[in-house]
Chains A and B, each alone.
Chain A
Amino acid sequence: MDARNLSGKPAGRAIVDPARQSMMLAALYIAQEQRGYLTKDAIHQVAQRLGLTDGEVYSTASFYTLFRMEPIGRYVIQVCEGLSCYLNDGAERVVEYVSAKLGINPGQTTADGRFSLQTVQCLASCGTAPAMRVNEQLYENLTPASIDEILERLMGEV
């Protein structure tokens, strides 16, 4: 028999410790904090510590939208495009407004690396729609004026 199985693991490898594996998401968050996204090396480090292959860690990380495999701006603006935000003149209207202000489309980052714009699914802010998030901060009941204020404050930050 081949010494390696289909997944490329050496045969007879130690059994995965389930308690260690359950630290996967927490470990990925910690790894992501280092560079703002998950580098190949970060994936490898997590795999080493959890006793898994790089492929297993990548497979899990790629399942979740909060883990990123590409560099991202310092401020990540996530605009909710859910139903209630749409019904409250939000969603695409907010995206268009922010897009025009920053000169980038959803999925893009400004040339100076400060802002990334993304669209996201329901943020559970339907009662205070429209909503968007900048990094960890949630902004609700958005209006053009409040978006201006948020963006201008962030642009002023060094």
Chain B
Amino acid sequence: MGAWQPVLLANVNRPNSEKIGTYLSHGGYEALRKALRMPPEDIIAEVKASGLRGRGGAGFPTGVKWGFLPKDAPVKYLAINTDEGEPGTFKDRLIVERDPHSILEGVIIAAYAVGAHRAFVYIRGEFFLGVKRWIKAISDAYQHGFLGPNILNSGFDLDVSVHRGAGAYICGEETAMLESLEGKRGVPRKKPPYPAQKGMWGKPTIVQNVETLANIPHIIKRGAAWHAGIGTEKSKGIKIFCVSGHVNRPGNYELPLGTPLRDVIYGYAGGVRMGRGIKAIIPGGASTPLITADKIATPMAFETLQAAGTALGTGAVVVMDETTDMVEVLRRITRFFVHESCGNCLPCRVGGHDMLEILERLTAGKGGRTDIEELEYLAKGIYGQTFCPMGTGMVEPVLSALRLFRSEFEQRVMHK
């Protein structure tokens, strides 16, 4: 395990890291100067060649998404997703609070590449400090001529504004986020059309996660080959892993994709507290299937975690030691998703509620004989049958836990 020199998180521990002066004195906005001298299509080609995939959970190739935007459309938008809410995930909050200019530089380059002159930052309403940092970063960027009309005499204009969400996990889903930006209930839209075709106010819109955008300046500055040379065959570049739960050193760890899960947990996060064994790991946020310690050698990459029966998701690793009550863990995760269901479609709204009732009975030790079968029946019925991916995300942990820890559930059933 060679020591990785942080790139995305290189600034976050410097004093006054959020200030534009700090950012500028460490090479900030150099990538923007370079980008503005490049034809926009070359930037898209560079991002495509880099192999960068979205860091918000779905992992869609970023350059490909940019290429979907119709070139001849007169009005196009860029929307920046800072609605971090996937349980276990705390990386975007860190970047926004400590290094907002690294995202903003990515925003400006992305907008220039796709020909958007208006960008909307959507930030989780609870991120009070993040809102302040975003607004300050944007206003300082205007002062320095990085935003507004004719940016750095390039002839390119861009305006960016900040919009607070108001407490709704579902608004992290890109079309629900657009609904919320438009001042409506955050209910997901039908896809297709995808936002790149019909997004904000019906105009072609690129929606991009904060961590994804923070990668853009580095790809422009160091070149696509640099990025494509890191990671695995299908997962290029670097990723911030949020490690929490029963580990000695929880925190954000920036590492090359493909780093084995074992190194993340034992090398960087200091291993499990009190030297205990691991019972379960959530590798990519609460909506990804649980795994057990036998998968600890798995490289942290899209394709390898998929092969292991789970997903990279947001890169949020939650470690649970051998003493953990898995039925209680599932009750808690399910309660989150039931609370956050937008209520628009039945399997998620009603099915989720019914699953939670069963899990509450089980944790109270009052489960009936048919409860486990019923829980599995509900979870299978919700899987893939909801309007947006949230329903499936809600049952992934349930289905995996019933497979891996069934006996724990069975012990909670009353035997009469």
Instruction: List chain A positions with a Cβ less than 8 A from chain B.
Output: 18-19, 21-26, 28-29, 50, 59-60, 63-67, 81-84, 86-88, 91, 120-129, 133, 136-138
Are B250 and A126 in contact, CB atoms less than 8 angstroms apart? yes
In the complex, chain A residues whose CB is within 8 Å of the CB of B333: 83
Are A29 and B164 in contact, CB atoms less than 8 angstroms apart? yes
Taken together as a complex, chains A and B put the C-alpha atoms of A125 and B186 apart, in Å, by 24
Which residue of the partner chain, among A18, A91, A127, contacts B251 with CB atoms under 8 Å?
A127
Taken together as a complex, chains A and B put the C-alpha atoms of A84 and B92 apart, in Å, by 17
In the complex, chain B residues whose CB is within 8 Å of the CB of A137: 128
Instruction: List chain B positions with a Cβ less than 8 A from chain A.
Output: 84-90, 92-93, 124-129, 163-169, 180-186, 201, 242-246, 250-252, 282, 286, 316, 318, 320, 324, 328-329, 332-333, 336, 339-340, 342
Residue of B nearest to A81 (CB): B332
Minimum CB–CB distance from B30 to chain A (whole Å) comes to 30
Minimum CB–CB distance from A32 to chain B (whole Å) comes to 9
Are A66 and B324 in contact, CB atoms less than 8 angstroms apart? no
Are A122 and B87 in contact, CB atoms less than 8 angstroms apart? yes
Are B242 and A126 in contact, CB atoms less than 8 angstroms apart? yes
Minimum CB–CB distance from A130 to chain B (whole Å) comes to 11
Asked, given contacts A23-B183, A126-B318, A138-B129, whether A121 binds B89 with beta carbons under 8 Å apart, the answer is: no
Which residue of the partner chain, among B184, B246, B250, contacts A21 with CB atoms under 8 Å?
B184
Are B166 and A28 in contact, CB atoms less than 8 angstroms apart? yes
Residue of B nearest to A122 (CB): B87
Minimum CB–CB distance from B158 to chain A (whole Å) comes to 18
In the complex, chain A residues whose CB is within 8 Å of the CB of B245: 83-84, 87-88, 126
In the complex, chain A residues whose CB is within 8 Å of the CB of B180: 25
A-B contact pairs, 24 of them (CB 8 A): A18-B201, A25-B166, A64-B165, A64-B166, A64-B167, A65-B167, A82-B336, A83-B87, A83-B318, A83-B336, A87-B320, A88-B245, A121-B169, A122-B286, A124-B124, A124-B126, A124-B127, A126-B244, A127-B244, A128-B250, A129-B244, A129-B250, A133-B126, A138-B128
Asked, given contacts A24-B183, A60-B183, A86-B332, whether A126 binds B88 with beta carbons under 8 Å apart, the answer is: yes
Residue of B nearest to A19 (CB): B201
